[in-house]
Amino acid sequence: MNLNFSSIKKIKIEKPLLLDCGVTLNGFNLAYETYGKLNEKKNNAILVFHALSGDQFVTETNTVTNKDGWWNLAVGKDKSIDTNKYFVICANVIGGCMGSTGPKEIDPATGKPYGLNFPVITIKDMVSAQAHLLDYFGIRKTLAVLGGSMGGMQALQFCTLFPERTYASIPIACAASHSAQNIAFNELARQAIMADPEWDNGNYLISGKVPRKGLAIARMAGHISYLSEQGLQNKFGRKLQKQTDVKFTFDADFEVESYLKYQGYSFVDRFDANSYLYITRAMDYFDLYKQNNGNLSKAFDGSKIKYCIISFSTDWLYPTSESKKIVIALNSIGAEVSFVEIVSNNGHDSFLVDEPAFFNTLKGFIDSTYEEFKNEI
Task: Based on the residue annotation, tell me whether 149 is a catalytic residue of this protein.
Answer: yes
| Residue tagged active-site, from 125, 196, 272, 315 | 315
For the chain, where are the alpha helices, taking DSSP H only?
Answer: 123-136, 150-161, 180-195, 204-207, 212-226, 229-235, 255-268, 273-285, 288-291, 296-299, 320-332, 356-373
Give me the DSSP letters along 222-264.
HHHHHS-HHHHHHHTTT-BSSSSS--SSSS--BHHHHHHHHHH
| Residue tagged active-site, from 178, 311, 348, 349 | 348
Residue 219 Cα distances to 193, 297, 307, angstroms: 10, 34, 32
Within 8 A by CB and 6+ apart from 174, the residues are: 147, 148, 149, 150, 151, 152, 153, 155, 156, 318, 322, 323
Give the count of alpha carbons within 13 A of 41, CB side only: 12
Residuewise pLDDT in 10s, the chain (377 residues): 668 888 899 999 999 999 999 999 999 999 999 999 999 999 999 999 999 999 999 999 999 999 999 999 999 999 999 999 999 999 999 999 999 999 999 999 999 999 999 999 999 999 999 999 999 999 999 999 999 999 999 999 999 999 999 999 999 999 999 999 999 999 999 999 999 999 999 999 999 999 999 999 999 999 999 999 998 999 899 989 888 898 898 888 899 999 999 999 999 999 999 999 999 999 999 999 999 999 999 999 988 999 999 999 999 999 999 999 999 999 999 999 999 999 999 999 999 999 999 999 999 999 999 999 988 76
Residue 54 Cα distances to 62, 97, 98, angstroms: 11, 10, 9
Q: Rounded CA gap, 284 and 188, in Å? A: 13
Dmax (CA) of the chain: 68
| Residue tagged active-site, from 149, 169, 228, 303 | 149
Give the 3-state secondary structure of residue 112.
strand
DSSP state of 141: S
Contact 139, 164 (CB under 8 A): no
What does the buried/exposed string (b/e) look like for 77-111 if buried means 16 or more CB atoms within 10 Å of the residue's CB?
Answer: eebbbbbebbbbbbbbbbbbbbbbbbbbbeeeeee
Task: Based on the residue annotation, tell me whether 367 is a catalytic residue of this protein.
Answer: no
Within 8 A by CB and 6+ apart from 368, the residues are: none
CB atoms under 10 Å from CB of 45, counted, come to: 25
Q: Which domains does the chain have, with CATH numbers?
A: 5-179+288-373 (3.40.50.1820), 183-279 (1.10.1740.110)
Contact 131, 161 (CB under 8 A): yes
Which residue type sits at 199? Answer: W
CB atoms under 10 Å from CB of 249, counted, come to: 7
